Amino acid sequence: MQHARRAGNPRPPLPPRSGPHLHRRPASPGGADPSVSPCGGHGSGCRRQEPFRRAGCTGPRRSRRDHTPRERRYRMRSNFLRPTLVVACFCLILAGTVWAQEADTSAPAHLPRGQGEFEMVLIHGLGGNDTIWDEVAPYLMGTFNVFRFELAGHGQTQPIKNPSIAAEVKRLEQFIADNGVEYPTIVGHGLGGMIALQYALAHPADVHRLIVMDAAPHQLISAAEKSHVADLLMTDYDRFVASRYLQMSDNAAVTDEVVDMALRTDSATFISLLLSSFDFDVTERLDTLSVPLLIIGSEYMFPDPDLSRKVLVDLGWDNTRSLTFKRIEHAGYYMMLDRPVYTASVLLAFGVTPDYEFQD
């Protein structure tokens, strides 16, 4: 039976298909043979109209072989595009969801730099940031994939609750895991050297080489001095920090840069990490360190080359099984800024060959 659509009523449901989309109606009272109802018996406004009919049906529905080539191409394109568009929309939604999830990360990812055979992780010191390696890193990239770890509350990295050396070691563990670093040479400067040393003691099988720059396994400071420094930090923070960092190089451009970096560091983080370093002491564990170790000393820390061995003993390095020492003269505490090319050459030599013989 042909379905009619009444004004004001919703369109009735489509009848079930019979055959190739043809719906026969009974013979007319005059006995005429049954004919194909216009548009399959759905009447005007049918959603199954031919592609080029704007409204209504004016004649019997044609079979596919009666369609023009243009109509057949249109149908083929329409049938093909429907599922394709659905899949494309789903992919766009999925991509947007993934992008939103990635954008929620609290800190930008630290990506490797370079295409070398080896891996190297660089850790700056207290009051610095990862830009202090800018002049050194380009010389390393041909040999190493270089990763720069930035301390919390420094540079572009947000502060964390209860900052300490132990907390930074945990962050370093996560950083190495997140970046897929497998067997790196770890380089630490100052407080970064303490963090690198602590990590190597905890994960000796995961460290290829350990390089510590102007750092010690414990701090040479008395209880009275600790109390005095704490008072200065609380009462005259800016003056204390500026005066401390102005002494670290004879190069005015370098001191201007490091003072600016230090004063831009989150003050609460700076104070907590400095006080945490006063209690750092791993000298009793150094005899368990199995990682090849290089100590780099600046002229600032080792002013007299003839007394370098004594300074190493005073700092507590005599408890290690073995170590290699290299003094960089004409360089302040920030040797990577005072002598970047030479510093890079030392890192390269030991990072690839642990038994390299350095000449003073």
Do both 130 and 256 map to the same domain? Answer: yes
Assigned token pair, 90: 């789903």
Instruction: Give domain status of residue 321, yes or no.
Output: yes
Is 154 buried (19+), middle (13-18) or exposed (0-12) by CB count in 10 A? buried
Assigned token pair, 259: 């003072």
Do both 82 and 59 map to the same domain? Answer: no
Distances in whole angstroms, Cα of residue 198 to Cα of each of 143, 180, 195: 25, 20, 5
Instruction: Give domain status of residue 143, yes or no.
Output: yes
Predicted pLDDT of residue 116:
76
Domain tally for the chain? 3
Q: What is the pLDDT of residues 31-70, one digit of tens each?
A: 444 444 334 444 444 444 444 344 444 445 555 555 555 5
* pLDDT of 3 strictly over 70: no
Do both 138 and 248 map to the same domain? Answer: yes
Integer Cα distance of 138 and 121 in angstroms: 14
293, β-bridge pairs: 210
Assigned token pair, 43: 């009447």
What is the arithmetic mean of pLDDT over 213-237? 91
Instruction: Give domain status of residue 332, yes or no.
Output: yes
* pLDDT of 76 strictly over 80: no
Do both 74 and 183 map to the same domain? Answer: no
Do both 39 and 185 map to the same domain? Answer: no
Instruction: Give domain status of residue 84, yes or no.
Output: yes
Q: What is the pLDDT of residues 265-315, one digit of tens each?
A: 999 999 999 999 999 999 999 999 999 999 999 999 999 999 999 999 999
Is 306 buried (19+), middle (13-18) or exposed (0-12) by CB count in 10 A? exposed
Do both 33 and 71 map to the same domain? Answer: no
Do both 98 and 28 map to the same domain? Answer: no
Predicted pLDDT of residue 216:
95
CB-hemisphere CA count at 13 Å for 285? Answer: 13
Pick the range with the lowest mean pLDDT from 18-32, 72-86, 92-106, 216-230: 92-106
| 13: confidence class by pLDDT, cuts 50, 70, 90 | low
> What is the residue range of 5's domain?
1-66
Instruction: Give domain status of residue 113, yes or no.
Output: no
| 220 touches 314 (CB < 8 A) | yes
* pLDDT of 203 strictly over 90: yes
Do both 140 and 258 map to the same domain? Answer: yes
Assigned token pair, 229: 């420094």
Integer Cα distance of 303 and 299 in angstroms: 5
Instruction: Give domain status of residue 124, yes or no.
Output: yes
State the greatest distance between any 2 C-alpha atoms of the chain, in Å, as a whole number: 126
Instruction: Give domain status of residue 300, yes or no.
Output: yes
Instruction: Give domain status of residue 220, yes or no.
Output: yes
Integer Cα distance of 113 and 134 in angstroms: 11
| 344: confidence class by pLDDT, cuts 50, 70, 90 | very high
